[in-house]
Amino acid sequence: MAVVPNTSFKEQLMQSIGPEVAKIEHAMRLDFQETTAGADPLLTDVLEYGIFNGGKRLRPLLVVLAARLCGHKNPEKNNESIHQLAIAFEYIHGASLFHDDVIDRADMRRGKPTVNNQFGVIAAILGGDFLLSRSMFLIGTHGGNEALQIFCQATNGMIDGEFLQLRNAMNCNLSEEDYYAVVTGKTALLIAATCEIGALAGGASVMEQKALAEYGISLGTAFQIIDDLLDYQGDPAQTGKAVGNDFQEGKMTLPVILVLAAANTKDTKRLLFLFENENARQSGLDEALQLIEKYDGFGKSRSVAESIVTKALSGLTIFQEKSCLPVLEVFKVLAQYVLSRKK
């Protein structure tokens, strides 16, 4: 798991994490075969389509890394069953995508038809339920009660975040605080849970567990800020979705919120008008982009994400033993990846 110098960023990342990602994929395959043995063939097709989709496996990877980071003193806890625990996070992530795409009536994800588009809304709802149920089973079985408690807090937070977003949908006076509350619920709590449950499995001290949970909250928040930036600035060929989805839905994200706080009265009024009026939005994307650029909304958002990632990494300096350093390097590379990702 050592980081090899003098290679490109992507090569470096893959050499660090490639073998672990392969083990995660393998564990998912085995578990998928076991859990769908005897299941309805349509359910099997839906799950296969929805979860073996070239996803980045970031969440399970964080579980494994956190366990490795804490488990250096407890080699007996650092065994392969960690992958069983880790894949639960890919399942719950899948469940949330299945249901979110139904809720958002999304047609495409990662350049492919969504599950609801390919198999229908019913299959997407039920398939999501199946993944949610299986993820809880894996956490309870391989992580015990404390892990199940952390996991359920995260899933409740995800649902809570969706409700908050639902209530905020038509609110164009969203504060930065409101934005972070949604981001914490929707994304960061689950990323924090990967780190915290991995830490638990690795036999972490309370301080180590807390440090990793905080790293996860920060990394997850930065991840979502970049996600929201990619919505405006991403290359559709790489992200697999059209530019300006959030704008078309009138959804306020950080670049817009920062601009509204900084702009003069005229520009504030105009940007709000664009967000508040569905008709104006249909042809207003270019104008909105210009207004956001005028006040450097994208640059400011990226700076926020960068400072959050710096904070995330600084919390990991408690892992000072020499045996921790190779894994710590991977955490750093991952944090850089979150900032530099294009999709």
- Name the residue among 32, 33, 243, 252 with its Cα closest to residue 131: 32
Cβ-proximal residues to 286 (8 Å cutoff; 6+ apart), any chain:
none
CB 86 within 8 A of CB 61: yes
Per-residue x/- track, 40-69, its own copies (CB under 8 A): x-xx--------------------------
Considering only 91, 130, 247, 295, the residue that binds its own copies (CB under 8 A) is: 130
Considering only 65, 66, 136, 312, the residue that binds its own copies (CB under 8 A) is: 136
- Kindly tell me which of 160 and 306 has the beta carbon lying closer to its own copies: 160
Return the residue matching tokens 């689950």: 190
CB 117 within 8 A of CB 80: no
Of 146-165, binders to its own copies (CB under 8 A) are: 148-149, 152, 155-156, 159-160, 162-164
Considering only 68, 93, 134, 251, the residue that binds its own copies (CB under 8 A) is: 134
- Kindly tell me which of 166 and 261 has the beta carbon lying closer to its own copies: 166
Considering only 6, 8, 145, 317, the residue that binds its own copies (CB under 8 A) is: 145
- Name the residue among 74, 80, 122 with its Cα closest to residue 99: 122
Using the contact rule CB under 8 A, the part of the chain among 68-76, 99-107, 203-211, 323-331 near its own copies is 99-107
Residue 240, φ and ψ in degrees, nearest 5: 75, 10
Of 164-183, binders to its own copies (CB under 8 A) are: 164, 166-167
Distance separating alpha carbons of residues 282 and 99, to the nearest angstrom: 26
Distance separating alpha carbons of residues 157 and 138, to the nearest angstrom: 19
Q: Does 187 bind its own copies (CB under 8 A)?
A: no
CB 225 within 8 A of CB 184: no
Q: Which residues bind its own copies (CB under 8 A)?
A: 35, 39-40, 42-43, 95, 99, 102-103, 121-123, 125-126, 128-130, 132-134, 136-137, 139-141, 145, 148-149, 152, 155-156, 159-160, 162-164, 166-167
